[in-house]
């Protein structure tokens, strides 16, 4: 018996990287997994018993609503939402004066507005059920003030504020909202960009207390804990999971 038996969990961006590892951890706890991703959602979902894959752009209002509707139709409920989808490694690091407004806006849409849209779609279902868990994936970058990715760092800082204010608003509904902030992680998205690995890998490892690469699996325990009954008195919090690079 797992501590998440009978629960239905949506993981956005769950087809690869950190999201895929989180989906695996929730599945090991007994949850039924819905992978919501722009690409390869169904293939990824096939790895999990009863897994459902939904091709979704989380920055689209329509898609976010459809994601929740189809999950309820096919699985009967939504108990857990992990807002993990985001733009990171594909973003060029450069002085903020060189960031085009279009790119700034796209980062805000995919990394922040998406969480507003998916939460707005899922909360009525969770209220009806009498509770739920939402976990948002931020990053260590807003705590450290990492330069040359101003749109990204700003978007990830917004997620911490979003988590706190939404948690306050939903406490009375027994809907817990928390945040996990990973350090530089060797995800699929990062590995696909050798220039990013080259720039950040060694510097990140040497800045940590635990001096090794961070891998997607490192983030899983914190997320699974926050989705489980063991965290029923935890809300509005941000856990930094970065091998002790930044003490939050």
> Which residues contact ligand NAI by CB under 6 A?
12-13, 15-19, 37-39, 56-59, 84-86, 88-89, 110, 137, 139, 182, 184-185, 187-190
Cβ proximity to ligand NAI, 87 vs 173, nearer residue: 87
Beta strands in the chain (DSSP E): 8-12, 32-37, 52-55, 80-83, 132-137, 175-182, 238-241
Nearer to ligand NAI, 55 or 129 (CB): 55
The answer to whether 153 and 86 are in contact (CB under 8 A) is no
Q: Which residue number, 171 or 194, has a Cβ lying nearer to ligand NAI?
A: 194
Long-range Cβ contact pairs of 120-128 (< 8 A, separation 24 or more): 120/64, 121/64, 121/65, 121/67, 121/68, 121/69, 122/10, 122/68, 122/78, 122/81, 123/170, 123/173, 123/175, 125/68, 125/72, 125/77, 125/78, 126/78, 126/79, 126/173, 126/175, 127/173, 127/175
In the complex, minimum distance from the CB of residue 171 to ligand NAI, in angstroms, rounded to a whole number: 25
Q: Catalytic: which of 152, 162, 184, 225?
A: 152
Reading the block at residue 177, the tokens are 């909202």
Looking at the Cβ atoms of 27 and 85, the one nearer to ligand NAI is 85
Cβ(8)–Cβ(57) below 8 Å: no
| Shortest CB 174 distance to ligand NAI, Å | 26
* 3-state SS, residue 18: helix
CB of 151 to ligand NAI, least distance (A): 12
8 Å CB contact between 122 and 10 = yes
Q: What angle do CA 214, 27, 131 make, to 5 degrees?
A: 105
CB of 177 to ligand NAI, least distance (A): 16
Cβ nearer to ligand NAI, comparing 162 with 184: 184
| Minimum distance of ligand NAI from residue 57's CB (angstroms) | 5
> Catalytic residue at 152?
yes
Residues labelled as active-site residues: 152
């Amino acid at each position: 018996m797992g501590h998440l038996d009978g629960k239905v969990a949506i993981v956005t961006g769950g087809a690869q990287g950190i999201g895929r590892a989180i989906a695996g951890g929730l599945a090991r706890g007994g949850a039924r997994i819905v992978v919501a991703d722009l690409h390869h959602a169904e293939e990824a979902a096939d790895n999990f018993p009863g897994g459902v894959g939904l091709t979704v752009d989380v920055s689209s209002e329509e898609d976010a609503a459809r994601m929740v509707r189809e999950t309820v139709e096919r699985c009967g409920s939504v108990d857990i939402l992990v807002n993990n989808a985001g733009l990171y490694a594909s973003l060029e690091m450069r002085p903020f004066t060189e960031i085009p407004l279009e790119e700034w806006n796209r980062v805000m849409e995919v990394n922040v507005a998406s969480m507003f849209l998916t939460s707005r779609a899922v909360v009525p279902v969770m209220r009806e059920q009498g509770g739920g868990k939402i976990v948002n994936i931020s990053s260590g970058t807003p705590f450290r003030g990492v330069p040359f990715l101003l749109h990204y760092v700003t978007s990830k800082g917004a997620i911490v504020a979003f988590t706190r204010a939404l948690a306050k608003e939903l406490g009375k509904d027994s809907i817990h909202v928390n945040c996990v902030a990973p350090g530089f992680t060797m995800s699929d998205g990062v590995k696909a960009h050798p220039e990013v690995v080259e720039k950040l890998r060694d510097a990140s490892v040497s800045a940590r207390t635990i001096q090794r690469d961070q891998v997607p699996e490192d983030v899983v325990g914190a997320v699974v804990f926050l989705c489980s009954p063991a965290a029923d008195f935890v809300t509005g919090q941000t856990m930094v999971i970065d091998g002790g690079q930044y003490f939050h």
